[in-house]
Structure 1
Amino acid sequence: MADNLTGTAENLTLDWVLGVGTPTRPTTPLQVALVTANGSDTAAGTEVTGGSYARQDLAVAAAVSGATSNSADLVWTGMPAATVVGVEVWDSAGTPVRLWYGPLNDPRTVAAGDELRLVAGSLGLSMA
């Protein structure tokens, strides 16, 4: 998800790098949400609901050349019937903050009870 930081995440990053104020680091663990309609910079997508669906914790490797990716498989079991078109990354605060968003290269249609898996390294995150 290149250059798909939300405006909130862009502001936090700029404030931190430039030493402006005291930006608060997002609450961890960061979590990956699946969406059936993609969001935008200012609006969240339509998150999957039903079945055993729940956001999954995101583990990443240290960034290299301005990019990183998930360091472990992300697995959703007991999915509801849905066509997943994108993902979003949220913090895990009491009122979660959306930080990243983007479409999947290939939408995935799952039947009720299916598993959806994003293998390690397949969810790329960059700021360029």
Structure 2
Amino acid sequence: MSLTNHGEDKLLTLFKNDGSYYLALFTAAPGETGGGTEVTGGAYARQLVAFGEPADGTMKNSAAIEFPTATADWGTAVSWGLFDAASGGNLVWYGEITTPKELLAGDIYRINTGNLTLTMD
């Protein structure tokens, strides 16, 4: 079975309107049941994400996402995850960072508008 693009867009709209979502960075990837190793310490904090309207089964961040300046080495970010809480909470969506990035003290990790894509396909 498959959803049409219209059906995918409706589900993404429900997801978008269901609440607030916070982006986390991982140094070891999570999976279907969670897990992985989220960055901790050094001023790290999950960041609130705003999404634009879905189109053709995809939805993108509608504003830049910027993590605070690292005050310690965070490791190499290899994956991301969306949580339903700023801390704790549930992992609801995750993905691979296309180009893993080593984050050192003094670095700022930024995802420009439109560069975080959620896909239903």
* TM tier relative to shorter chain: 0.7 to 0.9
Q: Distance in 2 between matches of 1:35 and 1:93?
A: 15
Q: Is it true that 1:69 corresponds to 2:60 in the alignment?
A: yes
Distance verdict in 2 for CA 1:96–1:57, change over 3 Å: same
Amino acid at match of 2:110: R
Identity over the aligned pairs, expressed in percent? Answer: 35
TM superposition shift of 1:61: 0.4
Matched residue, 2:108: 115
TM superposition shift of 1:100: 0.4
Matched residue, 2:6: none
Residue-pair matches, total: 105
Of residues 79, 91, 94 in structure 2, which corresponds to 1:86? 79
Q: Is the 8 A contact 2:23 2:81 kept in 1?
A: yes
Q: Distance in 1 between matches of 2:87 and 2:68?
A: 24
TM-score normalised by length of structure 1: 0.74
Greater relative contact order: 1 or 2 (C-alpha under 8 angstroms, separation 6 or more)?
1
RMSD: 2.0
TM-score normalised by length of structure 2: 0.78
Matched residue, 1:53: 44
